Amino acid sequence: MSLKLANLARVMEEFRKFDSEMQSQTILAFIIVANKRSQNSTVSIGEVGALLGITSASASRNIAALTAFSRHRRKGHDLITTYENPEFRVEKFIELTEKGKALVTRLEDII
Report the distance separating Cα 66 and Cα 47, nearest Å.
Answer: 16
Model pTM score: 0.91
Q: What is the pLDDT along the chain (111 residues), one digit of tens a residue?
A: 799 999 999 999 999 999 999 999 999 999 999 999 889 888 999 999 999 999 999 999 999 999 998 767 778 899 999 999 888 888 999 999 999 999 999 999 998
